[in-house]
Each structure stands twice: as structure tokens, then as C-alpha cells.
């Protein structure tokens, strides 16, 4: 299965929900686990929020590609280009209000990288492996957490 979608979204908070809905629809078509859908929803929300907050009040481009057992998300906007490279930001001090988006994205994806782009463009590319669906009646594994004990 190969699913792909690209959207050009307005530079406002409404883009966050639209991007999440687009991603969730594709993950639903791919029969992705609910926990993957939830976590990737957080990832795309944070990436789009950063694009809206730090961008130059321009459109935000979101591209999602699901190919077999992988999901790739790319968020592109106009703005100051951060240093290209892997997103490995450490969490901010507990008393800071902002700065948790990139560490959260890094924690919920397999890769998150700012890629080189044309001057004035910011591109964040994220990937996540989608686990195979568990057979009916068996517990679905949750990334980083053991399955809940059965009663």
C-alpha cells in the first residue's frame, strides 16, 4: 500500500487541526494502530505549531507518505532556516513555558531532521515505523510501554 497527500494550509491555528485530520485519515486507510495515530497526531500538531509560530505568516505545506510499514511527514514553511540536522533537542528547564515541541517530536518519531532547503524555507522531515497489526484478540504493543496485564 502506498498513500500520499500534500496540503497547503493557511498560516493560522486552524492548520493544526487540518493537518491532524489529513494524517489521521491516511493512517486510518493504512489501518495503523490507534497508539501510532495518537502519537503521530501529536507530532504533526507540534511541527505545524512551530511552523505557524516561527514562520513568516505564510502558508504551511504538509506532506504525508505512508508506504508499507513507514510513515513520513514533512512540514515546510517560510522562515529562518535552522541548522540542518537531526532533531535531538534536550527538554527545556522545568520552569520554561516553551521549547518542548522539538524534544517531543524527537521522542515520538524514529527520525526527525531539518533538511537543507532553499533560502527562506524551513523543512522538517519526520519518519516513524508503523508496527504490523496484531492478530485479532491479541494485545497490541505500545511503543516504549509493555502491554497492560490482562485481568
**CATH assignment of the domain containing 44:** 3.30.565.10
Q: Is 145 inside any structural domain?
A: no
Q: Is 99 inside any structural domain?
A: yes
pLDDT band at 56, cuts 50/70/90?
confident
Q: Is 140 inside any structural domain?
A: no
Of 132 and 62, more confident: 62
Q: Is 15 inside any structural domain?
A: yes
The mean pLDDT of 70-76, rounded to a whole number, is: 97
Of 91 and 3, more confident: 3
Q: Is 144 inside any structural domain?
A: no
12/7 Cα distance (integer angstroms): 14
DSSP per-residue codes, 34-102: HHHHHHHHHHHHHHHHHHHHHS-S--EEEEEEEETTEEEEEEEEESPPPPSEE--PPPPPTT-SS--HH
Q: Is 146 inside any structural domain?
A: no
Q: Is 43 inside any structural domain?
A: yes
The mean pLDDT of 87-115, rounded to a whole number, is: 83
Sign of CA dihedral 29, 32, 37, 39: negative
Residue 109 has pLDDT above 80, yes or no: yes
Q: Does pTM surpass 0.85? A: no
Boundaries of domain holding 98: 2-129
Q: Is 148 inside any structural domain?
A: no
Give the number of domains in the chain. 1
Amino acid at each position: 500500500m502506498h498513500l500520499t497527500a500534500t496540503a497547503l494550509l493557511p498560516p493560522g491555528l486552524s492548520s493544526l487541526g487540518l493537518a491532524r485530520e489529513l494524517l489521521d485519515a491516511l493512517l486510518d486507510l493504512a489501518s495503523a494502530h490507534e497508539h501510532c495515530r495518537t502519537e503521530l497526531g501529536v507530532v504533526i500538531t507540534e511541527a505545524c505549531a512551530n511552523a505557524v509560530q516561527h514562520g513568516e505568516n505564510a502558508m504551511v505545506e504538509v506532506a504525508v507518505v505512508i508506504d508499507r510499514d513507514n510513515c513520513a511527514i514533512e512540514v515546510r514553511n517560510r522562515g529562518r532556516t535552522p541548522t540542518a540536522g537531526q532533531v535531538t533537542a534536550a527538554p527545556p528547564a522545568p520552569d520554561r513555558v516553551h521549547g518542548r515541541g522539538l524534544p517531543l517530536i524527537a521522542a515520538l518519531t524514529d527520525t526527525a531532521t531539518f533538511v537543507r532547503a532553499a533560502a527562506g524555507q524551513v523543512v522538517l522531515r519526520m519518519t516513524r515505523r508503523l508496527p504490523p497489526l496484531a492478530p485479532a484478540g491479541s494485545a497490541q504493543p505500545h511503543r516504549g510501554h509493555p502491554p497492560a496485564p490482562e485481568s
